[in-house]
């Protein structure tokens, strides 16, 4: 678990190092963002979430990244890495394919993808743990829904929208993960395990008869 949690923590550390360097030396790494349908910026799918335009932009993404990343890896340990990687790549790819012509930077698409996954997983799974996490997301991050609309100039609402869509799709894709793990566990039960359990039941029955 500690090793997996290092993924979101290391990512946040990376974006802070990169942007401290950028802001301190007054550099502009915006060219590392995504410019939709420009093949020369395909690499931006991987680099754009690391680049931010201001300290406020960086801070506003860092806190939810940390909270949602920890929730993901604690709640869905078996699939967390897959969700993190697919959310990262697919959100960036959708921005490159469908967003308006402008440079898109920042990790907000990843934030929206994580929030969407954690929210909709509760609806698809309907187990207590998932519902509890989903309810928390709805309460504390429900206001994020306004970010998917083009209401504020200079904000990549497309990243928010596509992140939310990717999170929903991943929640649906991995909806049966717990059931599959349960079935696999019982399928791997050996004959020796069954025999041991049957012997235990017989032993209990003999003890019962000794007292009757």
Residues 117-151 have pLDDT tens digits of 999 999 999 888 899 999 999 999 999 999 999 98
Residue 180 has pLDDT above 60, yes or no: no
pLDDT tens per residue, range 47-98: 999 999 999 999 999 999 999 999 999 999 989 999 999 999 999 999 999 9
pTM: 0.83
| pLDDT of 110 above 80 | yes
C-alpha pair distances (Å), 6 with each of 12, 54, 174, 183: 10, 25, 22, 30
Confidence of residue 211 (pLDDT cuts 50, 70, 90): very low
The full 3-state SS of the chain, as one line of letters, equals CHHHHHHHHHHHHHHHHHHHHHHHCCCCCHHHCECCCCHHHCCHHHHHHHCCCCHHHHHHHHHHHHHHHHHHHHHCCCCHHHHHHHHHHHHHHHHHHHCCCCCECCCHHHHHHHHHHHHHHHHHHCCHHHHHHHHHHHHHHHHHHHHHCCCCCCCCHHHHHHHHHHHHHHHHHCCCHHHHHHHHHHHCCCHHHHHHHHHHHHHHHHHHHHCC
Confidence of residue 212 (pLDDT cuts 50, 70, 90): very low
């Amino acid at each position: 678990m500690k090793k997996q949690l290092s993924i979101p923590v290391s990512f946040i550390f990376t974006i802070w190092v990169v942007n401290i360097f950028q802001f301190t030396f007054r550099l502009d790494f915006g060219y590392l963002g995504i410019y939709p349908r420009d093949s020369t910026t395909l690499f931006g799918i991987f680099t754009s979430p690391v680049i931010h335009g201001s300290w406020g932009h960086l801070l506003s993404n860092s806190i939810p990244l940390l909270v949602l990343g920890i929730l993901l890896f604690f709640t869905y340990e078996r699939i967390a890495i897959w969700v993190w990687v697919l959310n990262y790549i697919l959100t960036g790819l959708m921005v490159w394919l469908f967003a308006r012509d402008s440079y898109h930077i920042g990790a907000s698409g990843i934030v929206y993808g994580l929030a969407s996954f954690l929210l909709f997983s509760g609806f698809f799974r309907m187990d207590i743990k998932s519902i509890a996490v989903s309810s928390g997301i709805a309460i504390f991050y429900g206001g994020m829904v306004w970010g998917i609309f083009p209401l504020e100039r200079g904000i990549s609402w497309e990243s928010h929208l596509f992140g939310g869509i990717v999170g929903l799709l991943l929640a649906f894709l991995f909806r049966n993960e717990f059931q599959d793990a349960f079935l696999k566990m019982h399928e791997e039960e050996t004959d020796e395990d069954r025999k041991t359990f049957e012997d235990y039941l017989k032993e209990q029955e003999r003890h019962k008869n000794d007292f009757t």
